A = this chain, B = another copy of it.
Amino acid sequence: MKFGARNQLIGVVKKVKRGNVMGQVEIEIPAASRMGSVMTTDSLDDLDLKAGDTVMVIVKAISVLVTKE
Protein backbone atom coordinates (compact mmCIF):
# COMPACT_ATOMS: atom_id res chain seq x y z
CA MET A 1 0.00 0.00 0.00
CA LYS A 2 1.22 3.48 -0.91
CA PHE A 3 0.55 6.66 1.04
CA GLY A 4 0.20 10.20 -0.20
CA ALA A 5 2.46 11.59 2.51
CA ARG A 6 6.16 12.45 2.50
CA ASN A 7 7.05 11.08 5.91
CA GLN A 8 6.74 7.39 6.74
CA LEU A 9 8.82 5.99 9.60
CA ILE A 10 8.81 2.50 11.10
CA GLY A 11 8.93 2.36 14.89
CA VAL A 12 8.04 0.41 17.99
CA VAL A 13 5.33 1.38 20.49
CA LYS A 14 6.83 2.17 23.90
CA LYS A 15 3.87 3.52 25.86
CA VAL A 16 0.11 3.85 25.49
CA LYS A 17 -1.90 6.27 27.62
CA ARG A 18 -5.72 6.32 27.54
CA GLY A 19 -8.07 9.16 28.37
CA ASN A 20 -11.84 9.19 27.88
CA VAL A 21 -11.94 10.54 24.36
CA MET A 22 -8.28 10.80 23.35
CA GLY A 23 -5.30 8.49 23.73
CA GLN A 24 -1.57 9.05 23.33
CA VAL A 25 1.12 6.73 22.00
CA GLU A 26 4.91 7.02 22.32
CA ILE A 27 6.80 5.36 19.47
CA GLU A 28 10.54 4.69 19.28
CA ILE A 29 12.03 5.21 15.83
CA PRO A 30 15.24 3.08 15.83
CA ALA A 31 18.48 5.07 15.82
CA ALA A 32 16.46 8.24 16.09
CA SER A 33 14.29 9.76 18.77
CA ARG A 34 10.72 9.18 19.86
CA MET A 35 7.57 10.30 18.11
CA GLY A 36 4.33 10.94 19.94
CA SER A 37 0.91 10.43 18.39
CA VAL A 38 -2.53 11.38 19.65
CA MET A 39 -5.71 9.72 18.36
CA THR A 40 -9.20 8.93 19.63
CA THR A 41 -9.45 6.02 22.07
CA ASP A 42 -11.72 4.41 19.44
CA SER A 43 -8.80 4.36 17.01
CA LEU A 44 -6.56 3.12 19.81
CA ASP A 45 -8.94 0.19 20.21
CA ASP A 46 -9.15 -0.44 16.46
CA LEU A 47 -5.36 -0.58 16.23
CA ASP A 48 -5.13 -2.57 19.49
CA LEU A 49 -1.81 -0.86 20.23
CA LYS A 50 0.44 -2.17 22.99
CA ALA A 51 4.10 -1.71 23.94
CA GLY A 52 6.30 -3.72 21.59
CA ASP A 53 4.05 -3.41 18.52
CA THR A 54 5.76 -2.41 15.29
CA VAL A 55 3.90 0.44 13.62
CA MET A 56 4.34 2.83 10.75
CA VAL A 57 4.12 6.52 11.50
CA ILE A 58 2.79 8.79 8.73
CA VAL A 59 3.01 12.58 8.72
CA LYS A 60 1.88 14.84 5.88
CA ALA A 61 4.65 17.31 5.02
CA ILE A 62 2.25 20.20 5.54
CA SER A 63 2.02 19.31 9.25
CA VAL A 64 5.76 19.67 9.73
CA LEU A 65 6.91 23.04 11.13
CA VAL A 66 10.53 24.05 10.51
CA THR A 67 12.38 26.41 12.86
CA LYS A 68 15.89 27.81 12.57
CA GLU A 69 18.07 29.80 14.97
Q: A interface vs B, CB < 8 Å? A: 1-7, 9, 17-25, 27, 29, 31-40, 42-44, 46-49, 53-69
**In the complex with contacts A24-B61, A61-B24, A68-B55 CB distance below 8 A:** yes
Listed A/B pairs (16) with beta-carbon separation below 8 Å: A1-B1, A2-B47, A3-B43, A3-B47, A4-B65, A5-B39, A9-B32, A20-B20, A20-B22, A35-B61, A35-B64, A36-B64, A53-B68, A57-B65, A58-B65, A58-B66
Q: How near does chain B come to A2, taking the closest CB pair, in angstroms?
A: 5
Indicate how many identical chains form the complex: 6
* Bound Cα distance A47, B59 (Å): 16
CB distance from A15 to the nearest CB of B (A): 10
